[in-house]
Amino acid sequence: MDGVLADFAAAYHEIETRLVGPSTPSTRAGNPEEEASEESEDEETARTRAKAEEEARKTEDAARQAEGGRRKKEVRPSEHRRRRDLVWQAIQETPDFWTTLKPLDPTAVGRIHEMMVRHRWEVFFITQRPATDGDTVQRQTQRWLVEQGFDLPSVLVIAGSRGAAAGALRLDYHVDDNAKNCIDIKSESGAKPLLIVDPSDDMTAISARRLGIGTATTIDECLTILEQASVNRAQPNLLHRLAKLVGWH
């Protein structure tokens, strides 16, 4: 959902700017999956993570002192964590937050619905969003998809590996903006993963293709690829040519 269909990053940075000021160039939006994982982690894992963050802060302080304070303008790991915690607290206290996100491509969800009907696809929207005030994550996500033009959406809120879910559902294809999820899909299921990569990130695209993970730069491009795969399903030569072009093997 997030980073593929819904523009979570824009909403995150908007809240961050309102609460603690504009983000630095090196700051990225929080990851809903990471936040959900931290919510469910046990006490020992939480202590280990906190210790690692403290060590990172000490390393940053030592480096700053060694450079005579020249790095004063940089944001310390502990400050990044403080900002992130404040933003996530605001997100989780916002009733039905997941229904408020804007689409990355206003036509994408409607196009998925039209292609689903035309090609008789079974479509599942998989997410690992953390809970917020209001409706459950599943109902919030369903309402958002309906508003974007997809009736009766199948939304799966999961914890853990995407690959296990893809294997259980016997998916043919999976679209994601997270390389780790695509690796899980590739190793734990028979689905062909399709990773959305920024056009300027050649290194990630090359690495993904070496692993047999297909790449595209937008959700629109992904849908065009999936449409071609459906049309060419009965023509092995064309399907092989498409797989080679995309990066699947």
Domains of the chain: 8-97 (no CATH), 100-246 (3.40.50)
For residue 92, what pLDDT band results from cuts at 50, 70 and 90? Answer: very high
For residue 184, pLDDT beyond 70: yes
For residue 147, pLDDT beyond 90: yes
pTM of the model: 0.83
Amino acid 220: pLDDT: 97
Q: Which two tokens stand for residue 11?
A: 């909403």
Q: CA 14, CA 3: separation in Å to the nearest integer?
A: 16
Could you tell me what percent of the chain has a pLDDT over 90? 72
For residue 44, pLDDT beyond 70: no
For residue 72, pLDDT beyond 90: no
Q: Which residue has the tokens 């696809």?
A: 121
Average pLDDT over residues 2-7: 97
Amino acid 132: pLDDT: 98
For residue 166, what pLDDT band results from cuts at 50, 70 and 90? Answer: very high
For residue 133, pLDDT beyond 70: yes
For residue 142, pLDDT beyond 80: yes
Q: CA 174, CA 137: separation in Å to the nearest integer?
A: 21
Could you tell me what percent of the chain has a pLDDT over 70? 81
